[in-house]
Amino acid sequence: MARAIAASERVRGTTSPNPPVGCVVLDAAGELVGEGATRPPGQAHAEVVALARAGDRARGGTAVVTLEPCNHHGRTPPCVDALLAAGVARVVHAAADPNPRAAGGAEALRAAGVAVESGLLAEEVARGPLRAWLHFARTGRPHVTWKYAATLDGRVAATDGTSRWISSESSRAEVHALRARVDAIVVGAGTVRVDDPGLTARGPGATRQPLRVVVGTGDLPPGARVLDDAAETAHLRTRDPDAVLAELARRGVVDVLLEGGPTLAGAFTAARRVDRVLAYLAPKFLGDGAPALRDAGVSTITDAVGLVVEQVSMCGPDVRISAVPGR
């Protein structure tokens, strides 16, 4: 299953609105004979890729897959049919499919005499490459990760407006790799006017570019870097987080990286539309300057937005914190 998770991570960002699934096939003796991951929309799913590589050796073997095999005919046939045709005797999957149109794969396999086990490394899958898609399938909204870099006292810019560079080179390289794996990056029009960001993924892992999304009613300045041809840009003339997410869902966007300034972050936080916080805290003090968050709809300490910290680790000299809203 760990190999299947790694395979799904390698295709994250290339499969939306389909899930980035990974699959490993073992023969009857338990030897690995096939491995694969979901291809771009309209192409083969992970099970089909792995079974094709396994060939006849899949018969009587085991398929290990990160998501319950689909049981519906969309742009491609059901993965359940492919598994049955290959003659696998056992299927082990991590997460159940929450999409009612595609669910039922485990039940169909059992009815056909295939042994099915579920839940293996389910938490790792749910917090890993399938996090955004599972959220999208359950809510109909893209998953939003608010990423920001700040000093240890919570400042994202100095009093003169300068903010380059708060985080380390290691953190910036990691963020570029993250950009290459999401569907869209969202910022406010104010950030475009003040900072003129390119909002592209750069570096060795940047083999694709996400959709650049600018939120705000005002016009963008001529010559802004987001208007170049390095990647596609959408200017959504609204400040309503729900309107933004509805339009992105319509476009098939599943995984969103929110990189806007404190006002936009506050609007998404107040609307309870931040699904994960990814903070890079640099070992610096500014003492004054722009805070990471403004106007989040909190007026008293009892209304504070509670978070559950998933992970605290180092990225170069910076502290990396991943947290999700408290349930």
State in Å, rounded, how far the first CA of the chain is from the last one: 28
Q: Which of 116, 65, 136, 59 is nearest to 95 (CA)?
A: 65
- Among the listed residues 35, 47, 174, 259, the single catalytic one is 47
Half-sphere exposure in the Cβ direction for 167 (13 Å, CA): 24
Report which of 147, 127, 155, 188 is spatially closest to residue 289, judged by C-alpha positions: 155
Question: Looking up tokens 């389909």, which residue turns up?
Answer: 18
d(CA 91, CA 94): 10
Picking from 144, 204, 195, 149, the residue whose alpha carbon sits closest to that of residue 172 is: 149
How long is the chain? 327
Would residue 47 show up in a list of annotated catalytic residues for this protein?
yes
Amino acid letter, residue 219? D
Radius of gyration of the chain (CA): 22
| Catalytic residue list | 47
